[in-house]
Amino acid sequence: MAGITITEKILARAAGKQRLSPGDVVFAKVDKVMMHDVSGPGVIKVFSEWEKKGIKLERIWNPDRVWVTEDHFVPAADRVSAENIIMLSNFTKRYGITKHFKYGLGQYGICHTLSHEEAMVLPGEVYVGGDSHTNTTGAMGAFAAGFGHTDIAYVLMNGQIWFRVPETMLFKIEGNKPAHIMAKDIILQIIGDIGTDGANYKAMQFAGGVVKKLTMEERLTLTNMTTEAGAKNGIIEPDETTYAYLRERTDARYSPVSGDSDAHYSEVFTYEIEKLEPTVAKPYSPGNVSAAREMQGTELDKAYIGSCTGAKLEDLREAARILKGKKVKIRTEVVPAAQSIYMKALKEGLINIFMEAGAVVGPPTCGACCGAHMGVLGKGEICISTTNRNFPGRMGHVESQTYLASPMVVAASAVTGKITDPRDVGN
Amino acid sequence: MNKTLKGKVHKYDRDNIDTDVIIPGPYLKIHDHKELAKHAMEGIDPKFPEKVSQGDFLVAGSNFGCGSSREHAPIALSQTGIKAIIAPSFARIFYRNAVDGGYLLPIEIDGSTVKKISDKDELEIDLAHNKITNVTKNEQYPIKPFPELIANIVAAGGLVNYRPA
């Protein structure tokens, strides 16, 4: 019998089974659960409907394993958003959830960024979140998947949920990474190759010499965008990079899991990184990819450096490296993904570089990425963005357009006002 | 499971109908289900809510509901009156949300079957026999049976009412 993958092992342990195979449907215990200011009010509504049916919830399964963020509609976009946040605060108070990251009260930021920045999720854990990009956190060696608010409410009540064990697709990235290539280019190329439903219901696991050398934050970009290929989860086996990253952030103990050396993968893909180009995904699909140089000269209205995908500290560093001493030619918005990242960027002088270049720097929020507030696009506007999705209307008007790219490509394009390969602007 | 549904088809013949067009981002702050229904499919067809009658079906291409985990998507569609979405495949979170929330049925059929169904056709979905009857065209099509757990959750009307055997 062939060995099993890290995803199968984590789920088997959580389901109390010796082993599981792809296709098995099991109820498994959850270690951590997250909800934010969009999924949270949904959960609260489900709770109130249960109460109407006579299901009284005096306490939840385990308040210490639940954490809550305010990220999509902060700073409160309007009265309704403000009231959603009040509702969320009342809920966390009532159920004794202390890990509630509040806007304007110390550390806060985008949920997926806090998941690693605050070491909320640890290797070997089963983590479910009320947001599709929960997949991000799989880079920590955890099983991490996104769910809707009914499922999150169910987990809050029962501490478990059903899973269909996914097949695992293995992506090996080999070679020596050129300085102008980022993890974003790798994952955009992969989605371009397999399509936006290429990994539907499956796990996407990343390995190989390049992944081994990637920093934690770059690995997180790979897993973040597995959602755009339809994957149930993205995952990377934990190693010394993972453990060192965690040592700086937590004393918590954990029991990591790795796949068997003879594990069975449904498909294995190998990429030679030297062959990759700085890449953009054209409107209106993350799978609609081209080399940035092929799109060179495409006129732009806005450059956006933000989101869980593209505003981690290293994303900001790479963008700043290109923007240093230059001026932006188009409206450029930089939104660090969390308060702690904003502060580190400030100390390193990155914020200064952005502002001297003429960009505006905003408080952490998901706002513009999901077209909700804090910088939405108008009819016909064209944006290049470090975010993860470019469906019609994603960042504003349904006839606006978004090109997805790495922080380097976005910064280079901000300098020229047109889609630009970072090799063509110097620095 | 012994259930037959009857309704009229609203066909949107394209793949990858995503959650941003089903219910755009600015409406995510809304949690009133009836209010959400007014914006269902706004990114594709702003007149959609007016066209739907209670019990109708939406027929679409593959990977329906891709993108966000927003449960607002199946809620908005079901609140317009849609009882089932018929497509060759669904994005996983949309599928889970539809079933676990008990909002509507995600019915999987072959891509070639989608081509046989036209806008405004009258269909009968027979879950007991895993088939669709096209009353307008006098044709029958097979549907992919629900896996056992999904069938049980559907029969219970959602995950909350479901009790593992």
Residue where the block lists tokens 């676990």? B100
Average pLDDT estimate for A231-252: 98
Q: Each residue of A193-217: pLDDT tens digit? A: 999 999 999 999 999 999 999 999 9
Q: Which CATH number fits domain A6-270: 2.60.120.260, 3.30.1360.200, 1.20.1070.10, 3.30.499.10?
A: 3.30.499.10
Considering CB atoms only, which of A25, A232, A392 is closest to B21?
A: A392
Alpha-helical runs (H) found in A205-338: 209-213, 216-224, 240-247, 307-310, 313-323
> What pLDDT sits at residue B161?
85
Q: Each residue of A375-384: pLDDT tens digit? A: 999 999 999 9
Q: Each residue of A386-422: pLDDT tens digit? A: 999 999 999 999 999 999 999 999 999 999 999 999 9
With beta carbons less than 8 A apart as the criterion, state whether A221 and A183 touch. Answer: yes
Average pLDDT estimate for B93-116: 97
Q: Looking at chain A from residue 205 to 264, which residues have their Cβ under 8 Å from any Cβ of chain B?
A: 230, 232
Residue where the block lists tokens 């947001």? A131
| Chain B contact present for A148, CB below 8 A | yes
> What pLDDT sits at residue A169?
98
Residue where the block lists tokens 């934010």? A36
- Choose, out of A26, A36, A38, A57, the residue to mutate when testing the contact with B (most B CBs < 10 Å): A38
Q: Looking at chain A from residue 179 to 208, which residues have their Cβ under 8 Å from any Cβ of chain B?
A: 196-197, 200-201
For residue B112, count CB atoms less than 10 angstroms from its CB and return exposed for 0-12, middle for 13-18, buried for 19 or more: exposed
The whole-angstrom separation of Cα A147 and Cα A133 is 10
pLDDT over threshold 90, residue B163: no
The pLDDT confidence band at residue B160, using thresholds 50, 70 and 90, is confident
Residue of A nearest to B28 (CA): A38
- Tell me if B97 and A398 make a contact (CB, 8 A cut-off): no
Ordered by start, the domain boundaries in chain A are: 6-270, 278-424
Distance, in angstroms, between B150 CA and closest chain A CA? 10
pLDDT over threshold 60, residue B2: no
Rg (CA), chain B: 15
- Say if domain B4-156 classifies as CATH 1.10.10.60: no
Q: Each residue of A348-374: pLDDT tens digit? A: 999 999 999 999 999 999 999 999 999
> What pLDDT sits at residue A426?
74
Cα separation of the two ends of chain B: 16
> What pLDDT sits at residue A386?
98
- Choose, out of A29, A72, A78, A132, the residue to mutate when testing the contact with B (most B CBs < 10 Å): A132
> What pLDDT sits at residue A185?
98
> What pLDDT sits at residue A427?
60
The whole-angstrom separation of Cα A279 and Cα A295 is 9
- Tell me if B24 and A393 make a contact (CB, 8 A cut-off): yes
Q: Which residues of A touch B72 (CB under 8 A)?
A: 42
With beta carbons less than 8 A apart as the criterion, state whether B100 and B153 touch. Answer: yes
A353 backbone dihedrals φ, ψ, rounded to 5°: -60, -45
- Tell me if A393 and B101 make a contact (CB, 8 A cut-off): no
Residue of A nearest to B26 (CA): A372
How far from the centroid of its chain's Cα atoms is residue A140's Cα?
12
- Total Cβ atoms within 10 A of residue B142: 12
Q: Each residue of B11-68: pLDDT tens digit? A: 999 999 999 999 999 999 999 999 999 999 999 999 999 999 999 999 999 999 999 9
Residue from A257, A281, A364 nearest A316 by CA: A364
**What is the fold of A278-424?**
Aconitase; domain 3 (3.30.499)
| Chain B contact present for A73, CB below 8 A | yes
The model's pTM:
0.96
With beta carbons less than 8 A apart as the criterion, state whether A273 and A178 touch. Answer: yes
The whole-angstrom separation of Cα B5 and Cα B125 is 5
Ordered by start, the domain boundaries in chain B are: 4-156
For residue A75, count CB atoms less than 10 angstroms from its CB and return exposed for 0-12, middle for 13-18, buried for 19 or more: middle
A384 backbone dihedrals φ, ψ, rounded to 5°: -115, 135
The whole-angstrom separation of Cα A37 and Cα A166 is 29
Residue of A nearest to B101 (CA): A150
Cα separation of the two ends of chain A: 53
- Total Cβ atoms within 10 A of residue A229: 26
The whole-angstrom separation of Cα A66 and Cα A134 is 14
Give me the total of CB pairs closer than 8 Å, taking one residue from chain A and one from chain B.
Answer: 124
The first and second tokens of residue A395, run together, are 């960042």
The pLDDT confidence band at residue A56, using thresholds 50, 70 and 90, is confident
- Choose, out of B66, B146, B163, the residue to mutate when testing the contact with A (most A CBs < 10 Å): B66
> What pLDDT sits at residue A2?
87
Q: Each residue of A124-180: pLDDT tens digit? A: 999 999 999 999 999 999 999 999 999 999 999 999 999 999 999 999 999 999 999
Residue from B12, B2, B6, B147 nearest B87 by CA: B12
> What pLDDT sits at residue B164?
67
Q: Each residue of A57-100: pLDDT tens digit? A: 899 999 999 999 999 999 999 999 999 999 999 999 999 999 99
- Tell me if B158 and A150 make a contact (CB, 8 A cut-off): yes
A278-424 shares the fold of A6-270: yes
The whole-angstrom separation of Cα A341 and Cα A352 is 14
Q: Tell me which DSSP letter residue A64 carries.
A: G
The whole-angstrom separation of Cα A424 and Cα A418 is 12
Considering CB atoms only, which of A27, A50, A147 is closest to B69?
A: A147
Q: Which residues of B touch A79 (CB under 8 A)?
A: none
Q: Which residues of A touch B67 (CB under 8 A)?
A: 132, 389, 391
Residue of B nearest to A227 (CA): B67
- Total Cβ atoms within 10 A of residue B153: 21
> What pLDDT sits at residue B64?
97
Rg (CA), chain A: 21
- Choose, out of B69, B93, B100, B154, the residue to mutate when testing the contact with A (most A CBs < 10 Å): B69
| Chain B contact present for A398, CB below 8 A | yes
pLDDT over threshold 70, residue B1: no
